[in-house]
Structure 1
Amino acid sequence: MFKSVFSNSSGILISRVTGLARDILMTSTIGANVWSDVFFMAFKFPNLFRRIFAEGSFTQSFMPSYIASRQKSVFAVAIFIRFMGFIVAFSLLVTLFPGFFTKLLAWDWNAELISKTAPLTAINFWYLDLIFIVTFLGTLLQHKEHFFTTAFSTVWLNIAMIASLMLFAHSDPKTIVYALSFSILVGGLLQVATHLYTIRQKGLLKLLVGGWKYRNRKDVKDEESKFSKLFFPSVLGNSTAQIASFIDTSLASFLAAGSVSYLFYANRIFQLPFAIIALAITTALFPSIAKAIKNENHTLAYQNLHKSFWLLSALLGLSVLGGMLLSEPIIWLLFERGAFTLQDTLNTADVLRMYMIGLIPFGLAKLFSLYLYAMHKHVKAAKIAAASLIVNILFSLILMKPLGAAGLALAGSIGGAVQMYLTMREVGWKIVFDILKSVYTLYFIFGVALFWGGFYSLNQYLVHLIR
């Protein structure tokens, strides 16, 4: 398991580092202003669906059905055709009516801002088609316990965007955001090409060809029906954070200019430890838990859960301390240059601190939900996610006026805490308490106290230097 975690984490780390390099270059090129808000808003729609597909919902509904399938190749191709047809049709609809869909994102924006954003929305949305192909192929690779290609592939997206920023660095903001939008599609094509190469190397191309060849000769309707019943609850269960972020972006359009960008940049920092640690561990863990439960080996499933809990808690705990106590120096170091000012740093740091409060709750909710999905309790996971989302939205509406963008981030963390509590309760407090009885609990408490003192002292020194 830990070999898979390391492979997945290393690929994610490389992709996130290049993503930070991209964001650093972006802040110095266009800063936090109207045009950056326009671009991020246009990219929000496909990015929402990308995260829903790529961060669990498709894989966690497809994998158990695929493992149990008697006609794996035919089943896989049948699901691909169904989803790809729907996504292409949806993309055409967005292309034909981009203004309408843009207005759904930013209902408080005036007609001028909508007209600026709509063409970019139409361009960016086609990235969803490409990322679904990547997610589908990546899930097949995960079944073979190969994680690096999917984790690494986002590097191509970042490289494409960095290249466009460098080529058009001295152009006007409108030209830059259009160049960025087209570069996203180039990056998506490179991601697809990388996965197709690995699929061929792993000998899975024959599986897809065979599934296409015999798709009308073998009946997999029952398996498709079972998958459909699992998929939609899985979408809701896995997309709480993404839907909340989507809503936050829309609500931020009611706030001061730059608020959308503050949320974006702070969330990028938050997503770094979440992806490298939480997503890497849970993604690598899910196939082994699903196979163990299918074989009725619950002892092995619990052992993997126990090990992953403490690894996840330790690494995320360290990240929370660093992110909260060093928020201002981190934002200053990464983003404060060019068009990104000191005030932008302070505003983004406030948002980052609120996001970091929810890092451990979101990570542990992700971990324990694996057991629910492996047990085919997708509906229960969906109900838990819906409850946490409602709490998130309520607190967003309450906190956005007094705290601004930081209030929206804090509301997300509160929703994450609710999701963690409800997920643990459903898995069973006995399992949770058995894990907490470990001697690692004392190590964790001691480590938190030790690193808190160290990070606090370092922050005081760095802030003094900055100011």
Structure 2
Amino acid sequence: MFKKAFLTNSSGILCSRIFGFIRDLSMALVLGAGVYSDIFFVAFKFPNLFRRVFSEGAFTQSFLPSFISVKKKAQFSVAIFLIFFIFLVFFSILVCIFNGFFTKILAYGFNDETIKLAKPIVAINFWYLCLIFCVNFFSSLLQYRDNFWVSAYNTALLNITMIVALFIAKDKDTYVIVYFLSYSVLIGGILQILLHCYSLYKLKFIKLFILGFRELYLIIKYKDKLKINNIKKDIISFFAQFFPALLGSSTAQIASFIDTLLASFLISGSVSYLYYANRIFQLPLALFAIAISTALFPMVAKMINNSNEFEALKLLKNAFFILLFSLSICVVGGIALKNEIIYLLFERGKFLRKDTLEVANIFVAYLIGLLPFGLARIFSLWLYSYKKQALAAKISAISLICGVVFSLILMKPFGALGLALSSSIAGFILFILTIFYFGIKKFKIIINNKKMLILLIVILFVEYIILYFLKHFINFGGFYVHI
């Protein structure tokens, strides 16, 4: 079951990321790396942050345990949906009214002229928050029924709509292209919802919603205080888990968000450099770490709930070595082929060689933190399974604060490169603290496999040798860089 779920998540994420890279390639070709690309990336940053935080665990880690345990599932699910959806609608309206204020918060370093251009773009993109909440709420319900494919593949729809928008608007004014992109984000969100609704209908969840709305209406109409109090208890219990889980699952994304804010104070193009590099960094993190943790969490949680810690550790050990091997290979390969990767993906149109070299170095700075960020995810699941969301949040907060401090220290001498390096430093702090609270003894049990460690060293050495000769005999992209 674990392997099947992992492969489903991984294949779906790979499909979505392939379309994501085609999207980024198209954006680099049409927009390049400048003021207008910075405007769109800033506007899309917050809804994209929200999507990643929710879809990569925070909501599911809180909602699923609560949904499983409550007796009145229909009432509970509809109540949670309405609370979030109504709040996000009002929040988006607020952003539309005070778009200048919120744009200044998102990109404080932009000058007044750039802020003026960015305001309507920010307002449009914020509406994606409502759509992506619906998507992730529906995904949690589908995962309850062991349906993973929709959650894994749905992001491809968003990327496809953005690619189509870029193709249609490629010959238009650059600012008009940014508008096309922003509206395509909303269209993509609607398509994602429709895909989930199809699966929900097939699994008869639509009936659950209808029943839930009907029951809530009758409870409110007849003012049934007992049932109202029961619903309130379930909701309070959910939010007691949700807010710590939200912080605990979002360290990397919040760090990236802060990096974007700080990058707006640097030279033009810095926001775009960070975005392009982070997009590639996110591929192995999503393809392996997120796919494994998504499949692993419900199984580990059930084993711990049944007091079967030995089997949970055994499963965690298998996941650890799969992740260790895959991420280590990605780190070595990514560092060795940094220039070639960026050249292949982005260097065309308005994306120049100087942009390639800048993004390549930032990409390496992000890669340094790939292993600690990825491995920390699976060990944090242990804390969530024991309902230690507050502890996980504390660990993430410490990591985040340290990352911000290093960003402020390193951004002046190293620019965008210093921001990416600070993110990796925060990743190591996150991993060390997570392992400490997971348990040093249990961690030693997991890594106690000399054959696997020796095999890893051999594989990485062979990879190094292959890439060494490859780079010296194939002058790909005009680069000649010693490893």
Shared fold per TM-score greater than 0.5: yes
- Equivalence for 2:344: 333
Letter in 2 for 1:450: V
1:45 and 1:426 map into 2 onto residues whose CA distance is 31
Letter in 2 for 1:278: A
Which shifted more, 125-134 or 219-228? 219-228
- Equivalence for 2:421: 410
**Which residue of 406, 429, 433 maps to 1:422?**
433
Does the 8 Å contact 1:143/1:287 carry over to 2? Answer: no
Describe the shift of the 1:415–1:28 C-alpha distance in structure 2 as closer, same or farther (beyond 3 A). same
2:469 and 2:477 map into 1 onto residues whose CA distance is 13
Structure 1 residue 464 displacement after superposition: 6.3
Task: Give the root-mean-square deviation of aligned CA atoms.
Answer: 1.3
2:437 and 2:361 map into 1 onto residues whose CA distance is 33
Does the 8 Å contact 2:365/2:421 carry over to 1? Answer: yes
Does the 8 Å contact 1:329/1:459 carry over to 2? Answer: no
Structure 1 residue 199 displacement after superposition: 0.9
| Equivalences, count | 467
- Equivalence for 2:372: 361
Does the 8 Å contact 2:313/2:446 carry over to 1? Answer: no
1:390 and 1:320 map into 2 onto residues whose CA distance is 25
Does the 8 Å contact 1:145/1:287 carry over to 2? Answer: no
- Equivalence for 2:332: 321
Structure 1 residue 454 displacement after superposition: 2.1
Letter in 2 for 1:53: F
Provide the secondary structure at the position in 2 that maps to 1:220. helix
Provide the secondary structure at the position in 1 that maps to 2:136. helix
1:45 and 1:118 map into 2 onto residues whose CA distance is 14
Structure 1 residue 457 displacement after superposition: 3.2
Consecutive unaligned residues of structure 1, counting only runs of 5 or more, are: none
Q: What are the residue-to-residue correspondences of 1:25-424 with 2, within 5 Å?
A: 25-215=26-216, 216=219, 218=227, 219-424=230-435
Describe the shift of the 1:408–1:206 C-alpha distance in structure 2 as closer, same or farther (beyond 3 A). same
Does the 8 Å contact 1:64/1:374 carry over to 2? Answer: no
Does the 8 Å contact 2:343/2:477 carry over to 1? Answer: no
Which shifted more, 44-53 or 88-97? 44-53
1:212 and 1:307 map into 2 onto residues whose CA distance is 43
Describe the shift of the 1:330–1:387 C-alpha distance in structure 2 as closer, same or farther (beyond 3 A). same
Structure 1 residue 461 displacement after superposition: 4.2
Which shifted more, 361-370 or 200-209? 200-209
- TM-score where L is the length of structure 1: 0.98
1:260 and 1:460 map into 2 onto residues whose CA distance is 33
Structure 1 residue 297 displacement after superposition: 2.2
After superposition, give the CA deviation of every residue in 1:163-194 in whole Å (9 maximum; x if it has no partner): 11111111110010000000000000000000
Letter in 2 for 1:250: L
Consecutive unaligned residues of structure 2, counting only runs of 5 or more, are: none
After superposition, give the CA deviation of every residue in 1:127-175 in whole Å (9 maximum; x if it has no partner): 1100000000001111112111011011111111111111111111001
Does the 8 Å contact 2:399/2:430 carry over to 1? Answer: yes
Structure 1 residue 205 displacement after superposition: 2.0
Structure 1 residue 462 displacement after superposition: 4.7
1:282 and 1:455 map into 2 onto residues whose CA distance is 30
Structure 1 residue 458 displacement after superposition: 2.6
- TM-score where L is the length of structure 2: 0.94
Q: Percent identity between the aligned chains? A: 49
Describe the shift of the 1:356–1:460 C-alpha distance in structure 2 as closer, same or farther (beyond 3 A). farther
Structure 1 residue 299 displacement after superposition: 2.3
2:29 and 2:21 map into 1 onto residues whose CA distance is 12
Provide the secondary structure at the position in 1 that maps to 2:366. helix
1:76 and 1:460 map into 2 onto residues whose CA distance is 58
Does the 8 Å contact 1:262/1:344 carry over to 2? Answer: yes
Structure 1 residue 79 displacement after superposition: 1.1
